[in-house]
Amino acid sequence: GAGVSQTPSNKVTEKGKYVELRCDPISGHTALYWYRQSLGQGPEFLIYFQGTGAADDSGLPNDRFFAVRPEGSVSTLKIQRTERGDSAVYLCASSPDSYEQYFGPGTRLTVT
Protein backbone atom coordinates (compact mmCIF):
# COMPACT_ATOMS: atom_id res chain seq x y z
CA GLY A 1 0.00 0.00 0.00
CA ALA A 2 0.91 3.65 -0.21
CA GLY A 3 3.25 4.96 2.41
CA VAL A 4 3.57 8.41 3.94
CA SER A 5 4.11 11.03 1.26
CA GLN A 6 5.56 14.50 1.65
CA THR A 7 5.59 17.44 -0.73
CA PRO A 8 7.62 19.12 -1.95
CA SER A 9 10.66 16.87 -1.79
CA ASN A 10 12.90 19.92 -1.93
CA LYS A 11 12.20 23.55 -1.13
CA VAL A 12 14.60 26.45 -1.52
CA THR A 13 13.45 29.77 -0.11
CA GLU A 14 14.92 33.12 0.81
CA LYS A 15 15.43 34.24 4.36
CA GLY A 16 12.29 35.91 5.68
CA LYS A 17 9.84 34.08 3.41
CA TYR A 18 6.92 31.88 4.44
CA VAL A 19 6.84 28.15 3.58
CA GLU A 20 4.35 25.32 3.86
CA LEU A 21 5.31 21.66 3.95
CA ARG A 22 2.66 19.00 3.36
CA CYS A 23 2.30 15.48 4.73
CA ASP A 24 -0.13 12.78 3.56
CA PRO A 25 -0.18 9.99 6.15
CA ILE A 26 -1.00 6.36 5.56
CA SER A 27 -4.76 6.00 5.21
CA GLY A 28 -6.45 5.24 8.52
CA HIS A 29 -3.53 6.27 10.71
CA THR A 30 -4.86 8.52 13.45
CA ALA A 31 -1.51 9.65 14.86
CA LEU A 32 0.76 12.00 12.91
CA TYR A 33 4.16 13.37 13.87
CA TRP A 34 6.57 15.97 12.55
CA TYR A 35 10.32 15.75 13.15
CA ARG A 36 13.27 17.83 11.99
CA GLN A 37 16.60 16.28 11.03
CA SER A 38 19.65 18.48 10.79
CA LEU A 39 22.79 17.33 9.03
CA GLY A 40 24.62 14.64 10.96
CA GLN A 41 21.96 14.34 13.63
CA GLY A 42 19.02 12.15 14.43
CA PRO A 43 15.47 13.41 13.96
CA GLU A 44 14.11 15.75 16.64
CA PHE A 45 10.46 15.81 17.61
CA LEU A 46 8.41 18.86 16.68
CA ILE A 47 4.69 18.11 17.10
CA TYR A 48 2.24 15.21 17.49
CA PHE A 49 -1.39 15.07 16.33
CA GLN A 50 -4.01 12.61 17.47
CA GLY A 51 -6.85 13.13 15.05
CA THR A 52 -7.32 16.83 14.33
CA GLY A 53 -5.82 18.19 17.52
CA ALA A 54 -2.21 18.85 18.40
CA ALA A 55 -1.71 16.62 21.42
CA ASP A 56 1.89 17.72 22.00
CA ASP A 57 3.61 20.69 20.35
CA SER A 58 6.43 20.93 22.87
CA GLY A 59 9.08 20.42 20.20
CA LEU A 60 8.23 23.45 18.07
CA PRO A 61 11.29 25.72 18.44
CA ASN A 62 9.41 29.05 18.50
CA ASP A 63 6.21 30.76 17.43
CA ARG A 64 7.33 30.99 13.80
CA PHE A 65 6.47 27.31 13.50
CA PHE A 66 2.87 26.11 13.32
CA ALA A 67 1.16 22.94 12.12
CA VAL A 68 -2.41 22.01 11.33
CA ARG A 69 -4.38 18.87 10.55
CA PRO A 70 -7.90 20.19 9.95
CA GLU A 71 -9.63 16.98 8.86
CA GLY A 72 -7.56 14.45 10.72
CA SER A 73 -5.62 13.30 7.67
CA VAL A 74 -3.32 15.64 5.72
CA SER A 75 -1.10 17.91 7.80
CA THR A 76 0.72 21.11 6.90
CA LEU A 77 3.76 22.46 8.72
CA LYS A 78 4.02 26.22 8.34
CA ILE A 79 7.13 28.27 8.95
CA GLN A 80 6.97 32.07 9.00
CA ARG A 81 9.87 34.46 8.49
CA THR A 82 12.26 31.64 7.67
CA GLU A 83 15.84 31.81 8.95
CA ARG A 84 18.97 30.07 7.68
CA GLY A 85 18.95 27.94 10.83
CA ASP A 86 15.65 26.43 9.74
CA SER A 87 17.45 24.58 6.94
CA ALA A 88 16.98 20.86 7.57
CA VAL A 89 15.05 17.82 6.43
CA TYR A 90 11.52 17.85 7.79
CA LEU A 91 10.14 14.36 8.34
CA CYS A 92 6.55 13.33 8.80
CA ALA A 93 5.46 10.03 10.34
CA SER A 94 2.13 8.35 10.96
CA SER A 95 1.07 5.51 13.20
CA PRO A 96 -2.02 3.32 13.52
CA ASP A 97 -1.43 2.74 17.21
CA SER A 98 0.93 3.62 19.98
CA TYR A 99 3.91 1.74 18.65
CA GLU A 100 5.99 2.03 15.50
CA GLN A 101 5.90 5.16 13.41
CA TYR A 102 6.13 5.04 9.63
CA PHE A 103 8.15 7.83 8.11
CA GLY A 104 7.86 9.67 4.82
CA PRO A 105 10.84 10.55 2.61
CA GLY A 106 11.06 14.06 4.03
CA THR A 107 11.19 17.59 2.65
CA ARG A 108 14.63 19.13 2.39
CA LEU A 109 14.29 22.83 3.22
CA THR A 110 17.10 25.19 2.31
CA VAL A 111 16.91 28.82 3.41
CA THR A 112 19.30 31.09 1.53
Partner 1 sequence: AQSVAQPEDQVNVAEGNPLTVKCTYSVSGNPYLFWYVQYPNRGLQFLLKYITGDNLVKGSYGFEAEFNKSQTSFHLKKPSALVSDSALYFCAVRDMNDYKLSFGAGTTVTVRA
**Residue 45 burial (C-beta neighbours within 10 Å; 0-12, 13-18, 19+):** middle
CA 70 – CA 86 distance, rounded (Å): 24
Could you say which residues in the range 11-40 bind partner 1, by CB under 8 A?
31, 33, 35, 40
Could you say which residues in the range 92-111 bind partner 1, by CB under 8 A?
93, 98-106
Under rule CB under 8 A, residue 42 binds partner 1: yes
* 44 phi, psi to nearest 5 deg: -120, 135
**Residue from 4, 26, 60, 67 that binds partner 1 (CB under 8 A)?**
4
Positions that interact with partner 1 (CB under 8 A): 4, 31, 33, 35, 40-45, 48, 50, 55-56, 58-59, 91, 93, 98-106
